Chains A and B, each alone.
Chain A
C-alpha cells in the first residue's frame, strides 16, 4: 500500500461539482472540529470558505500559537550543483538550457558554509539539480559531512533516492528530507515533465514515504502551486501529508506552499493562484494538520511574507540565493527568481517587530556522541 492507491481513489472525485456543493455551514462545522476529515478539508478549500477566511484565520492562528508558540524557525537553502538530466518546463536548471553548470568542490562547500553560518543560521537545506552522475548520493554525503561542522541540522532536497540511499544519508547526518511532488494531477505532470527520469510519477510520489522508512526525522512535501487547479492540488498535498503522518507517527511531516516563479524560460502557468488563494491553502493546511510545520519560502514578496507569518507558518527561509555558490561567490544561474531579498538580519528584525522570536537552532543531531 502506498499513497498511490489513495490517490487513485481521490482522483475519481467529481471536483467540479464538489467545489460548488459545499455551503458556508460545512465550513463552520469544520471550524468546530478537533480532527478534520477529508470532507472538511474539501470544504475549507472550496469557494464556500472564501467569505469565512477571517474566521478560519483566527482559528489557524490560535492553533499555531498553542502548538508552536511565538517562534519562527529560520533556515536557508544552499545549492550544491545545478546539473540536471530532466526537462521540466518550469525550471531554469532544465537540461535544455545552455549555461555553464557547476558543482561545488569540498573547499567551496566550506566557503559557503562559513558565509551562511556567519549570519547566525544553524539550519540548512542543501539542494542539487537532478543528476545521478554529477551529484550522486555519495557526493551529497561528502558535502553533508563537511556541513555538519557548521550546522547542527542539515536537510536535503535532491532527486528521489532509494530507501537504502536515504538511510545512508541519514546515517551521514541528514535529518530532514524535502521533496515536492510539483504536480499531483498525473496528466499535467506528464505534460510538464518532458524528458528525463523525473517523468516517472510514481517514483517521485513514493519517495517521501521511502524517506519515512529510512528514518528521517522530518519529511517535507508540497505541490508547486499554479501548475494545475490549486484547490485540487492543495487537497492532494494535505491528504498525502495526512497519509504519511498516520502511517509514520514518529516522523514530523511538514508542508510547503510554493507558488510558481519566473525562471529562464517562457512557460506560463495556467492556473492563477492569487494571494487570497494562497492564504486559503495555508489556513486549510493548518486546520487539517494542526501539528505540522508549514514552510514559507522567499518565492513570496516581502510585504506578503510579513502578513503570512501570522497565519500558520512555522518555518521561513532567509538570506536566500538560488544559485550554486551564491552565498560566497557570484555568477551562477538562479533556479528561479526569488521575491524576498532581505538579509537574515532584516528578517530577524521584522519577526521581532511582529512579536515573534526567530529561532536559529531547533535541532541537534546526536550521532556524534556516544
Chain B
C-alpha cells in the first residue's frame, strides 16, 4: 500500500518512531530497529558521550533518521542550546523539543516549548515539539514553524494508553500538521487505536524496552501501527459529526 509519510522533506514508509533510552543493553538497538521496521529514532543528547567506548549513537544503524531530543531542558533557552549542540555534534537537523519543568509527572511546558520551536524553526531545524494536547498551543506551534506536533497519550513511561483521546481527536481534526502521539502507549492495541484515530505516527520507548521480549514486542507494534493506519485509510476512523459539510435533510431551506 502506498501511503508515504513525508516529514521534514524525508519520506518515511514506517509510522513507528522508537526510542533508545531504556534498553538493558545498547546492542539491542539495531535488533529493535530491524524488528520494528522503524526509520526514526530518538536519542537524548545528554546520554551521548562521543568519548565513551559504548557511545549510544554508534549502535544506531546509519539508515535511521536521528531525532535528538532536548530531555533535561527546563526552559526554552536550554532546549535551544541542546538542539544547537546536537546539530553541531553531527546528529542532523531534526529535533524533538522536550521542555519539562515538572519532575513528578514529567508533563511538558507548552509555553516554553512554543518559544523554543519558534527559534529553532527559524534556524532551519525540523522541529517536533512534545506537548500536552492543547489546541491553542498546537496552533501556535504550527505558526512557530513546527514540522509536526507530538502530543502525549498519557504521562511518559506510564503505559496508560490514550487517556487524552478526546483531545488528540480534536488536534488531529483541527491542526494542519502531522500528529505523532508520543508517550503513554503501552500496548500494540493502543498504538493501533491512535492510528485509527488518524494520528500520523506514534513514538514509543518504554513499551518495547521493558517488554520481556523487546524484539517480539517491536514486531507487534510494527504490525499494530500498520493495521491501525489501514483501518484509518479504510474509513473506519472516527466519523466526525462536524465533518458533514452540508446537511441533506435541511438542504431545502434556502
Q: Which residues of A are at the interface with B, using a C-beta cutoff of 8 A?
A: 65-71, 120, 122, 152, 217, 245-246, 249-253, 291, 352, 355-357, 359-364, 366, 369-370
Chain B residues with CB below 8 A from A217, complex form: 72, 74
Check if B152 is an interface residue, CB within 8 A of chain A: no
Quote the shortest CB–CB distance from B32 to chain A (angstroms).
13
Contact B25 A357 (CB under 8 A): yes
Contact B103 A251 (CB under 8 A): yes
Whole-angstrom CA separation of A251 from B85 in the bound complex: 23
Whole-angstrom CA separation of A62 from B26 in the bound complex: 21
Interface of B is mostly: loop
Whole-angstrom CA separation of A136 from B159 in the bound complex: 47
Q: A249-B103, A369-B85 are in contact. Are A364 and B45 (CB under 8 A)?
A: yes
Q: A70-B210, A245-B103, A356-B24 are in contact. Are A366 and B49 (CB under 8 A)?
A: no
Of A69, A253, A356, chain B has the most CB atoms within 10 Å of the CB of A69
| CB within 8 Å of A: which B29-56 residues | 45-49, 52-54
Contact B101 A250 (CB under 8 A): yes
Of A71, A152, A217, chain B has the most CB atoms within 10 Å of the CB of A71
Contact A66 B210 (CB under 8 A): yes
Contact B85 A366 (CB under 8 A): yes
Whole-angstrom CA separation of A245 from B104 in the bound complex: 7
Name which residue of chain B comes closest to A65, CB basis. Answer: B210
Whole-angstrom CA separation of A303 from B194 in the bound complex: 45
Contact B104 A249 (CB under 8 A): yes
Whole-angstrom CA separation of A69 from B159 in the bound complex: 12
Contact B22 A71 (CB under 8 A): yes
Of A68, A70, A245, chain B has the most CB atoms within 10 Å of the CB of A70
Check if B84 is an interface residue, CB within 8 A of chain A: yes
Whole-angstrom CA separation of A360 from B45 in the bound complex: 13
Q: A66-B159, A69-B210 are in contact. Are A369 and B22 (CB under 8 A)?
A: no
Check if B93 is an interface residue, CB within 8 A of chain A: no
Quote the shortest CB–CB distance from B187 to chain A (angstroms).
13
Name which residue of chain B comes closest to A251, CB basis. Answer: B103
Chain A residues with CB below 8 A from B25, complex form: 352, 357
Would you list 18 pairs from A and B whose C-beta atoms are within 8 A, ordered by A residue? Answer: A65-B210, A66-B157, A69-B210, A71-B21, A71-B24, A120-B52, A120-B53, A217-B74, A246-B104, A249-B101, A249-B103, A252-B103, A356-B24, A361-B48, A362-B47, A363-B46, A363-B72, A366-B78
Quote the shortest CB–CB distance from B204 to chain A (angstroms).
12
Whole-angstrom CA separation of A366 from B23 in the bound complex: 26
Quote the shortest CB–CB distance from A214 to chain B (angstroms).
14
Check if B241 is an interface residue, CB within 8 A of chain A: no
Chain A residues with CB below 8 A from B53, complex form: 120
Chain A residues with CB below 8 A from B101, complex form: 249-250
Name which residue of chain A comes closest to B102, CB basis. Answer: A249
Smallest CB-CB A-B distances: 4 pairs: A69-B22, A70-B24, A361-B49, A249-B102
Check if B106 is an interface residue, CB within 8 A of chain A: yes
Contact B102 A69 (CB under 8 A): no
Name which residue of chain A comes closest to B78, CB basis. Answer: A366
Contact B24 A250 (CB under 8 A): no
Check if B158 is an interface residue, CB within 8 A of chain A: yes
